[in-house]
Amino acid sequence: MSNEYTIVFRAEGYEDRSVAVSSGETILEAAKRANVPLDAPCSGNGTCGKCRVKALSGEAESEQSRHVSGEDYAQGYRLACAARVRSDMVVFVPPSGFAYQSRIKISEGEREEAGFSAFREELREGGFTGDSGIEILTLTLPRPDTGDPMADRERLLFALETRRGEAVPEPRALALSLHAQRKLPTVLREGNFSVTCVIRHDAGEDRILNVFPGPQTPAEGRHPQAAGWPRAAGLAIDIGTTSVSILLLDLLTGEPLAMGSAGNGQIRYGADVINRIIESGRPGGLERLRRAVVDECLVPLIRALCRKGGIDSEQIYRAVVAANTTMTHLFLGVNPANLRLEPYVPAFFEGGSIRGVDAGLELHPEAELILAPNIGSYVGGDITAGTFSSGVYKKETLSLLIDLGTNGELVLGNADFLMSCACSAGPAFEGGDISCGMRATDGAVEACVVDEDTMESAPRIIGGPRQKPAGLCGSGLIDLIGELFRCRVINARGKFIREGKRVFRDEWGMAGYILAFAGETETGRDLVLSEGDIDNFIRAKGAIFSAIRTMLGSLDFTVDAIEEVYIAGGIGSGINVENAIRIGMFPKLPLERYHYIGNSSLSGAYAMAGSRRAAGKVTEISRGMTYLELSSHPGYMDEFVAACFLPHTDGGLFA
């Protein structure tokens, strides 16, 4: 271990990064230290094959594996996690090896998903709009003179008090933020003692957060998106284990201004929350993970949204974060170790009053940061926010919310009760742990049909007809596996039982289905769904179905009792429920009971950002929700094993 070598990492569009390594260290370990974001969702145990790199010079030993063919090996390809360094090296990282494969993506203001405008309408009807606590108000002050040399701050607060006096009977404390105080002398004189104030109404206090010169109304002819225009913006932030989505909104109108998403930079420390918690316990790990999501994802994404929406970061006055319990801990830099140690105790359920800047975000320095409350170690704010936006909490009928993330979470209930549970599905639904998997972004196959006779397939690809396929997102996986099962290309164990042009079997005995040949794909390599991928997917869908059965069983319900099912998560809007039922992922219910509601966590955060009543309702929901700990529930393991077939060992459930 004493020999020291130097590795240089090289990638297109990046500067070289070099790092010293000890003999015997893996390339992946070296990459982590060099802060090169190599994708390694399986945390480096050689199963996912995502960390393929190419040695341009130098020597690294590794056994060959199904992810690196003999030819590839000769060309210098290695799995970074399996390759031990034996000399100085120059290592090329192909674009597919980056954990940032999914870069920041900004979309137009309006959320494109179906259902979002209906959700906004529902919020209006429920009285969950227009009470963010932020007001914009123009005041005109008397000009100071030698007979009236009152200071700027007191002059402003006095004018506000006078104005308030007309409306509010009891006196309220008035305050001015330091940020506004610093601008005030110039703003007052630029605006000839007319000043437009952004005011937050807190319990017992009206606080002026920001000031702008003059009376500023669109009527005066300035474009409402002009720089410096005194708008009040808020952020709805969903931090998923795999991806981060943020919506920038106008706090007064609720109008979405810009929306974007990015991969969660923590992914290079492990694909699931357990591996992140383990990493956080290493020296410096907690801060490393915090920065990976805050500095590398949230801050640049918020900057991009601000540019898109024509907003200065100082004009963001309120931010809501909805995330699972581990993500909320890592986001705030709070040690999550006890989440995975009996008796599984989070460091907090509710976030209380926090300033966004204290969590490292770039906002107005006194902007509030609100967290959707956690209710247990594995059911977090993403679910409490999602329960609100799905509407399950107010239904008369028994409803089920299924959030298909890396952590799969379920909520069963109605207006009378709410029960939640969580299962570790793994990242398959978001394209992780699947050799051909990817998030539901451009290039992802989101649906496909297989011809029973020829075994040829007709894939639908996100990004339009000219887009070449790059991989499969969750909905595409469900479809392809469902179709292969329907066409009897694979059997109940997920093994290939037919042969043909599109089915291959490699030297390691592993079979697979070639969805697209190298010449047709974005990556220039065959797009293959292997038996290993199908195995991983079956475990993921088995985890979901067995969780549903266990939760129902704990309440003496059967599957038929469920009257509505809400599917949420980043699995992709193209989800084919018929195929999901066919492979035993969802219970056999009439298709019309299923509703895809997209990112319910983000929708909930959006509601909470624009409305204090909505935020209060989510807290109320969280306090009333019970939590079923599956891992200690008798019978769950048996259910899980039985569900790891296509569709299930008890075929009668899907007949």
User: Contact 397/417 with Cβ under 8 angstroms?
Assistant: no
Among 34, 38, 184, 322, binds a copy of itself (CB under 8 A): 184
Contact 425, 408 (CB under 8 A): yes
Answer yes or no whether residue 419 interacts with a copy of itself by CB under 8 A: no
For residue 411, give the amino acid letter: V
Q: Which is nearer to a copy of itself, 24 or 142 (CB)?
A: 142
Question: What gap in Å lies between CA 400 and CA 405, rounded to an integer?
Answer: 15
How many residues form the binding site for a copy of itself (CB under 8 A)?
49
Query: Which one among 344, 504, 557, 654 touches a copy of itself, defined by CB under 8 A?
Result: 344
**Residue placing its CB nearer to a copy of itself in the complex, 355 or 460:** 355
Structure tokens at 494: 């997920």
Name the nearest CA neighbour of 418 among 435, 437, 431, 401: 401
Residue from 240, 346, 408, 426 touching a copy of itself (CB under 8 A): that is 346
- With CB under 8 A as the contact rule, the residue among 36, 304, 332, 425 that binds a copy of itself is 332
* DSSP helix/strand/coil, 246: strand
Touching a copy of itself, residues 138-177 (CB under 8 A): 144-146, 148-154, 173, 175-176
Nearer to a copy of itself, 69 or 554 (CB): 554
Nearest CA to 92 out of 62, 55, 133 is that of 55
**What 3-state DSSP class applies to 449?**
strand
Per CB under 8 A, which of residues 567..606 are in contact with a copy of itself?
Answer: none
Under rule CB under 8 A, residue 643 binds a copy of itself: no
Residues 445-464 that bind a copy of itself (CB under 8 A): none
For residue 342, give every residue at least 6 positions away whose Cβ sits within 8 Å of its Cβ, in sequence order, or none. none
Piece of 72-80, 178-186, 311-319, 531-539 that binds a copy of itself (CB under 8 A) = 178-186
3-class SS string, 319-364: EEEEECHHHHHHHHCCCCHHHHCCCCCCCCCCCCCEEHHHHCCCCC
Q: Are 318 and 210 in contact (CB under 8 A)?
A: no
Q: Which is nearer to a copy of itself, 220 or 342 (CB)?
A: 342
Residues in contact with a copy of itself, shown as a per-residue x/- string from 200 to 229 under the rule CB under 8 A: ---xx-------------------------
Distance CA 632, CA 638 (A): 12
Which of residues 374 and 530 has its CB atom nearest to a copy of itself in the complex? Answer: 374
Binding segment for a copy of itself (CB under 8 A), chosen from 33-41, 216-224, 374-382, 499-507, is 374-382
Interhelix angle 273-280/325-332, nearest 10 degrees: 30
Phi/psi of residue 269, nearest 5 degrees: -100, 15
Nearer to a copy of itself, 343 or 519 (CB): 343
**Which residue among 22, 65, 194, 335 contacts a copy of itself (CB under 8 A)?**
335
Stretch that binds a copy of itself, among 62-70, 340-348, 421-429, 552-560 (CB under 8 A): 340-348
> Which residues, at least 6 apart from 182, have a Cβ–Cβ distance to it below 8 Å?
none
Q: Round to whole Å and give the CA distance between 32 and 37.
A: 7
631 lines the binding site for a copy of itself (CB under 8 A): no
- CB nearer to a copy of itself: pick between 488 and 623: 623
- Residue 317 binds a copy of itself (CB under 8 A): no
Residue 360 in the binding site for a copy of itself (CB under 8 A): no
Among the listed residues 160, 232, 359, 425, the single contact to a copy of itself using CB under 8 A: 359
Based on the shown chain and the rule CB under 8 A, indicate whether residue 333 belongs to the binding site for a copy of itself: yes
Instruction: Tell me if 474 sits within 8 A of 447, measured CB to CB.
Output: no
**Minimum gap (Å) between residue 88 Cβ and a copy of itself:** 37
C-beta of 205: minimal distance to a copy of itself in Å? Answer: 9
Q: Which of 342, 396, 507, 556 binds a copy of itself (CB under 8 A)?
A: 342
Among 75, 162, 454, 632, binds a copy of itself (CB under 8 A): 632
CA atoms within 13 A on the CB side of 78: 26
Compute the distance between CA of residue 280 and CA of residue 328 in angstroms, rounded to an integer: 13
Bridging pattern class, strands 17-22 and 52-57:
unpaired
Interacting residue with a copy of itself among 61, 358, 416, 456 (CB under 8 A): 358
Nearest distance, CB of residue 149 and a copy of itself, angstroms? 5
Answer left, alpha or beta for residue 235, where phi above 0 means left and psi between -120 and 50 means alpha: beta
237: left (phi over 0), alpha (psi -120 to 50) or beta: beta
Q: Cα 84 vs. chain centroid, distance in angstroms?
A: 33
Question: What residue ranges bind a copy of itself (CB under 8 A)?
Answer: 144-146, 148-154, 173, 175-176, 178, 181-182, 184-186, 189, 203-204, 332-335, 337-338, 342-350, 352-355, 358-359, 365, 374, 376-377, 629, 632
